[in-house]
Amino acid sequence: MRRLDQILANLGYCSRREARGWVANGAVTVHGEPADDFAQKVAPGEVRVDGEPLDHPDGLLLLLNKPLGLVCSHEAREGPNVYSLLPERWRRRNPIVTSVGRLDKDTSGLLLLTDQSPLVHRLTSPKHKVPKVYRATVDRDLDPELIGRFASGTLVLEGEDAPCAPAELKIVSPREAELTLIEGKYHQVRRMFAATGSIVLTLHREKFGALALGDLAPGQWRELPLDFFDSPEGGAPHQAYV
């Protein structure tokens, strides 16, 4: 149960001050009755605005096909971001909608967005080892010897001391590979190839754990149930990634 004005403000409808006006104007109902106290503590599911139930009152979990050219940071100075794809009300929510890990500006593909910070921590924590599958094209022919190097758990990235965890590399054509990582160091795929002498030209994330993009076009998203990662479809209860 939370204060009515706070619920509306946190779900991005309006400011708390505006919420008070909406209550005074009779636009807000609780249990079907016009609300008369903006400080009343209510469950969000009982609230209507102009007769409509609240927009995702319990939270958001989205699977986005990230287009190239957008960053995952909220900092305006870093350029156009993935949140600009979302409806304005979702961009005003508190807690804020954020990405689960990041994809570079020049990387496309599967990106999760959510306002559920425990989920962000769980899915990005190194101990959970969620496998992420990337498709990369590089600037020179791939040496099959790379498969062993990436799998060895000894590859050290420039500027780091600890080696990368073992990663699975599949060479799909002379300059194209699929790489599965269970960690998420900064620019990891590009730096792993750089450490072996090649430059990544294009990078796309195809899978995140049990999730794939399917036929989602770049810039589109679909909603996932908030408990997706607790369901067998999402990887539980086997805890395969733990």
Query: What is the maximum span of the chain, computed from C-alpha positions, in angstroms?
Result: 71
For ligand URA, the closer of residues 56 and 191 by Cβ is 191
- The residue from 55, 104, 143, 227 that is catalytic is 104
Cα 228 to chain centroid, rounded = 13
For ligand URA, the closer of residues 135 and 190 by Cβ is 190
Spatial distance between the Cα atoms of 239 and 128, rounded to a whole number of angstroms: 9
Question: CB of residue 186 vs ligand URA: minimum separation in angstroms?
Answer: 8
Residue keyed to tokens 């619920």: 7
Which helix (H) or strand (E) segment is 64 a member of? strand 61-66
Q: Which residues bind ligand URA (CB under 6 A)?
A: 103-104, 107, 187-190, 203
Q: Please state whether beta strands 211-212 and 200-208 pair in parallel, antiparallel, or not at all (unpaired).
A: antiparallel
For ligand URA, the closer of residues 10 and 188 by Cβ is 188
For ligand URA, the closer of residues 63 and 189 by Cβ is 189
Amino acid letter, 167: A
Backbone angles phi, psi at 109, to 5 degrees: 115, -155
Question: CB of residue 22 vs ligand URA: minimum separation in angstroms?
Answer: 41
Respond yes or no: is residue 106 known to be catalytic. no
Question: CB of residue 82 vs ligand URA: minimum separation in angstroms?
Answer: 12
Question: CB of residue 133 vs ligand URA: minimum separation in angstroms?
Answer: 11
Catalytic residues: 104
